[in-house]
């Protein structure tokens, strides 16, 4: 689960965060016409949410919520962030904004619990990692978070190129003089180039080990030609470098956006491994019926709770009120599981343990 999503879920499911909660989920647009539509959508949801709020909480004051909505509508920067969708969660005291990388059903929710299922789904198969674009004579470092890749700003003395890394120790000149690991022609010039190549990768490895902060222990993957991956692996001592996953092509001349677009195979491989691990849970003690899962979640017995997307009718189906109530049941169970330090997953049914529509593993 993505770290930022987990942190928000932990805060929102904590007993110290007091409701009522008003949650609005909308898909977003960044064009001027799209922003106007988003603003109108939020205004309409506000009106409907107020009706539901006044009916459910006649002794509570709506005004603090209205003020927070008005502040958002007047905040131009709020509508400029080009994410796929956004979750807006309000209490009388707090405003929580969480940007999502998935499409959602536009809807509002009012209740004792914030609506968490879309945030949980967004965190599914949403990986954080470092990605190093590596050539023979240069490197750059990127960080993937919430399915967005950003370049890491490195200090001036970082080994971003061969000359900066080796300086006066550079022996063979241009490291692009030859390609191919282990090239031996008997030419001293070629041997010097290979020495520089290995020394450069050792300098990069030393920089990663000593200068790059990684308290989360997120993995590092390479975006590099196979020969450069092989050479780096031979010299690497960095604990979080994972050579089992890589993008095997040259990153030279690629923009950050182009590199991001090429990271699909990393997500696919990580997702495959995660899904395979779920299938191993089928031999655990478990419940599949919602009534049993609900009771176990309240008692803190649920370790992992899987909800297949087949449980959620697209656009709230033919009976929106019934779908709203059903989602609130699942949402409350999810809240209880998270509150007791469990994990919740919302994913396609084919990816769930045993392809079950609902599945909860038990601690005891």
CATH number at residue 161: 3.30.420
The pLDDT of 23-36, averaged and rounded, is 88
Same domain, yes or no: 212 and 90: no
Residue 185 has pLDDT above 90, yes or no: no
Residue-level pLDDT at 6: 65
Q: What is the average pLDDT score of the chain? A: 90
Same domain, yes or no: 257 and 338: no
Residue 266 tokens, joined = 């990393």
Domain boundary pick from 62, 94, 124 = 124
Q: How confident is the model at residue 180 (pLDDT cuts 50, 70, 90)?
A: very low
Domain residue limits at 364:
284-364
Q: How confident is the model at residue 188 (pLDDT cuts 50, 70, 90)?
A: low
Domain boundary pick from 124, 139, 174 = 124
Phi and psi for 347 in degrees, rounded to 5?
Answer: -155, 170
Q: Which of the listed ranges 11-25, 181-195, 328-342 does the model predict with the highest average pLDDT?
A: 328-342
Other beta carbons within 10 angstroms of residue 321's beta carbon come to 8
pLDDT digits (tens, 9 = 90+) for 240-276: 999 999 999 999 999 999 999 999 999 999 999 999 9
The domain that holds 290 is classified in CATH as 3.30.1330.30
Residue-level pLDDT at 21: 95
- Residue 315 pairs in a beta bridge with none
Residue-level pLDDT at 327: 93
Domain boundary pick from 97, 124, 151 = 124
Q: How confident is the model at residue 1 (pLDDT cuts 50, 70, 90)?
A: low
Given CA atoms 344, 347, 351, 357 in this order, what sign does their dihedral have?
A: positive
Same domain, yes or no: 222 and 300: no
SS3 (DSSP) at 349: helix
Total domains present in the chain: 3
Same domain, yes or no: 152 and 260: yes
Q: Which of 18, 2, 73 is nearest to 42 (CA)?
A: 73
DSSP H/E element including 338: helix 320-339
Residue 82 has pLDDT above 80, yes or no: no
Residue 221 tokens, joined = 């993957």
Residue 243 tokens, joined = 């050579």
Residue 190 has pLDDT above 80, yes or no: no
Of 167 and 212, more confident: 212
The pLDDT of 312-337, averaged and rounded, is 91
Same domain, yes or no: 271 and 133: yes
Residue 81 has pLDDT above 80, yes or no: no
């Amino acid at each position: 689960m993505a770290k930022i999503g987990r942190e928000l879920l932990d805060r929102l499911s904590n007993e110290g965060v007091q409701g009522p909660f008003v949650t609005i989920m909308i898909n977003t647009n960044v064009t001027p016409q799209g922003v106007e539509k988003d603003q109108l959508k939020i205004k309409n949801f506000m009106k409907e949410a107020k009706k539901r709020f006044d009916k459910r909480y006649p002794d509570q004051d709506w005004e603090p919520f209205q003020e927070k909505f008005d502040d958002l509508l007047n905040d131009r920067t709020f509508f400029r962030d080009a994410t796929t969708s956004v979750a807006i969660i309000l209490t009388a005291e707090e405003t929580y904004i969480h940007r999502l990388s998935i499409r959602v059903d536009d809807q509002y929710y009012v209740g004792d619990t914030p609506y968490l299922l879309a945030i949980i789904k967004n965190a599914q198969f949403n990986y954080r990692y470092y990605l190093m674009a590596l050539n023979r004579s240069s490197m750059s470092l990127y960080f993937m978070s919430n399915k967005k890749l950003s370049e890491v700003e490195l200090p001036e003395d970082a080994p971003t190129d061969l000359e900066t890394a080796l300086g006066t120790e550079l022996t063979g000149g241009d490291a692009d003089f030859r390609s191919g690991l282990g090239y031996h022609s008997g030419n001293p010039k070629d041997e010097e180039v290979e020495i520089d190549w290995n020394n450069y990768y050792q300098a990069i490895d030393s920089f990663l080990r000593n200068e790059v902060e990684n308290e989360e222990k997120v993995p590092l993957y390479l975006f590099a030609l196979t020969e450069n991956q092989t050479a780096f692996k031979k010299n690497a001592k960095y604990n979080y470098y994972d050579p089992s996953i890589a993008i095997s092509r040259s990153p030279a001349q690629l923009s950050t956006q182009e590199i991001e677009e090429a990271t699909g195979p990393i997500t696919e491989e990580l997702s495959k491994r995660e899904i395979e691990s779920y299938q191993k849970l089928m031999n655990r003690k478990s419940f599949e019926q919602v009534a049993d899962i609900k009771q176990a979640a309240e008692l803190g017995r649920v370790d992992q709770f899987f909800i297949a997307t087949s449980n959620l009718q697209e656009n709230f189906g033919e009976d929106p009120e019934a779908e709203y109530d059903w989602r609130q049941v699942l949402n409350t169970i999810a809240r209880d599981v998270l509150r007791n330090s469990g994990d919740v997953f919302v994913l396609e049914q084919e990816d769930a343990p045993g392809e079950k529509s609902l599945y909860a593993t038990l601690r005891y």
